[in-house]
């Protein structure tokens, strides 16, 4: 990673997106007031009285020889690992930051692979990151996974027919899932191609994409079919390409997701904030 001695920040608040998710990014060295990530996220992110964002990130200036440190809060103020937001953060780095970048993102160690506007992310891996059995008696075949956050994925015949506001919340707070879960439904279109929708905890609504939901779905489909590479189309504009490098005993390694990221612009907050 290049050194940070000449690293310049031009704006306190920047909006960037990945696969349809939009996040606000704040640079630590640009702060001039006390920062409480949980409080700021609850003010800035929610739809209606905020900006309608999927989350808030605090970015530290990258340092040579050390992981890039970033932190994320959901719209409800909860602190969590976010894969699409971590990918979107790479869009804020200067152009010389290309190739592999080690990142410590809200307590999870991941790798970014930045190649122009496309950014790949290697999901957290290790003993705890794996597929598990879903609760019994769910309405469709399902799997549970820990990707850094809890994921419940169900395979359905037609995702467009699902009434998500009715369908998802009871599963989101299922009694057998102690941490709750993001709830995703996937529909296989053909071998290697699928659509996906996600109801996300923290936002408590459907979002346009969930990278970790797609990652869990990919590992599950690889387990079922033996095919390691899948293209997922979320509700957002950009597809996600996913590749399971290895899956053994329901644990993955080298599980990568790739897709475009973009800066949407800098913002200045009004007096109400």
Alpha-helix runs per DSSP H in 45-153: 83-89
Average pLDDT over residues 24-34: 92
Whether 116 has a pLDDT exceeding 60, the answer reads yes
Q: Which of 25-39, 148-162, 248-262 has the lowest mean pLDDT?
A: 25-39
Q: Which of 5-9, 215-219, 262-266 has the lowest mean pLDDT?
A: 5-9
pLDDT for position 178: 87
Query: Do the two domains 13-122+262-266 and 130-259 of this chain adopt the same fold?
Result: yes
Q: Is residue 230 a contact partner of residue 193, using CB atoms and an 8 Å limit?
A: yes
pLDDT tens for 76-107 read 999 999 999 999 999 999 999 999 999 999 99
Whether 10 has a pLDDT exceeding 90, the answer reads no
Whether 187 has a pLDDT exceeding 80, the answer reads yes
Angle 189-191-195 from CA coordinates, rounded to 5°: 35
Q: Which of 30-34, 42-46, 81-85, 153-157 has the lowest mean pLDDT?
A: 30-34
The domain spans of the chain are 13-122+262-266, 130-259
pLDDT for position 9: 64
pLDDT for position 47: 86
For 113, the token pair is 């692979």
The whole-angstrom separation of Cα 161 and Cα 89 is 34
Q: How confident is the model at residue 5 (pLDDT cuts 50, 70, 90)?
A: very low
For 33, the token pair is 């007031």
- Mean pLDDT of the chain, nearest integer: 94
For 233, the token pair is 């189309």
Whether 272 has a pLDDT exceeding 90, the answer reads no
- For the question of whether the overall pTM of this predicted structure is more than 0.85, the answer is yes
Whether 1 has a pLDDT exceeding 90, the answer reads no
Average pLDDT over residues 140-154: 98
User: For the chain, first and last CA: distance in Å?
Assistant: 35
Give 204's contacts (C-beta < 8 A, 6+ positions apart): 75, 76, 169, 172
CATH of domain 130-259: 3.10.310.10
What's the CATH number of domain 13-122+262-266, 3.40.50.960, 3.40.50.720, 3.55.40.20, 3.10.310.10?
3.10.310.10
Q: Is residue 13 a contact partner of residue 269, using CB atoms and an 8 Å limit?
A: yes
**By percentage, how much of the chain surpasses pLDDT 70?**
96
CA distances to 57, 135, 222, 232 from 196, in Å: 25, 20, 16, 7
Strand partners, 14: 25, 266
pLDDT tens for 262-271 read 999 998 888 8
């Amino acid at each position: 990673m290049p050194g940070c001695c000449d690293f310049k920040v031009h704006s306190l608040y920047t909006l960037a997106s990945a696969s349809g998710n939009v996040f606000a990014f704040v640079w630590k060295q640009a702060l001039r007031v006390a920062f409480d990530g949980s409080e700021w996220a609850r003010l800035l992110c929610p739809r209606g009285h905020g900006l309608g964002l999927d989350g808030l990130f605090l970015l530290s200036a990258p340092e040579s020889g050390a992981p890039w440190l970033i932190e994320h809060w959901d719209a409800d103020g909860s602190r969590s690992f976010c894969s699409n937001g971590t990918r979107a953060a790479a869009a804020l780095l200067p152009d010389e930051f290309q190739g592999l970048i080690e990142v410590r993102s809200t307590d999870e160690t991941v790798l970014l692979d930045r190649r122009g506007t496309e950014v790949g992310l290697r999901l957290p891996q290790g003993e705890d990151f794996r597929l598990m059995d879903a609760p019994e008696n769910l309405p469709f075949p399902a799997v549970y996974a820990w990707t850094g956050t809890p994921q419940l994925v169900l395979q359905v015949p037609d995702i467009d027919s699902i009434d998500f506001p009715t369908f998802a919340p009871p599963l989101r707070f299922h009694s057998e899932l102690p941490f709750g879960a993001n709830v995703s439904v996937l529909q296989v279109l053909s071998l290697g191609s699928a659509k996906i929708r996600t109801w996300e905890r923290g936002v408590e609504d459907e979002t346009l994409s969930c990278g970790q939901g797609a990652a869990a779905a990919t590992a599950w489909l690889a387990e079922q079919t033996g095919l390691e590479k899948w293209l997922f189309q979320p509700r957002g504009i950009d597809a996600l390409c996913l590749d399971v490098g290895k899956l053994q005993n329901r644990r993955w390694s080298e599980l990568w997701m790739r897709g475009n990221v973009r800066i949407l612009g800098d913002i200045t907050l009004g007096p109400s904030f």
